[in-house]
Structure 1
Amino acid sequence: SQLAQSPQSGPDVELNFIRDLMQQYGHPDDRVLDPAQFSVLLNRDREPVTPQQVGPGVMLLSLGELHSGIVAQVQEALYLGDFSRGLILDLRGSVGV
């Protein structure tokens, strides 16, 4: 088999396999990051969640990026803001990590 003959280590084989699958079946805009690229992406600065009052008791939360700290930011925004009549959660363009 091709995997048995590969001189690459396990993670490299898996990464290349996933890249091959994405090239064949994925969307042209999809991409697979290697571990170093993923680490840079994971550790970069992120925009904070900033609530906006768009009407009496109506809050807008725009989330440009979904990351591990987003839950705490949303909870804080909900705690501090007035959303008694409604909450608009804007996920347009959101990228998940």
Structure 2
Amino acid sequence: MKKVGMLLLILLLLTGLLTWFLLLNINNFASINLFGYKINDISTGALVLIAFILGGIIIWFISFISYTIEIQQLKSKMQKEKSEKEKQPVKDEEKQN
């Protein structure tokens, strides 16, 4: 989980830095084509804000998926260890007989 935390921190810093650079152009306007729907004269600041929010949501989604995978791996590891511990006394009893 520490690797995921560092990855999130680095991605957040990079996204923030890029956002700062793009916000320097807040007085500029652009036209975008969003899946065939054309939007004219939208502020680049608004585009940056939307991109930053969507980036944060995507980063959160990736970290959530990574966390659930890690939890599943820990559960299977604990279950495997538990089954090995349950089998261990049976082997010891067989040795005594």
TM-score range, shorter chain: under 0.3
Q: Which one has the bigger helix percentage?
A: 2
State the TM-score, normalizing by the size of structure 1.
0.26
State the TM-score, normalizing by the size of structure 2.
0.26
The structure number with the bigger radius of gyration is 2
Q: Which one has the bigger strand percentage?
A: 1
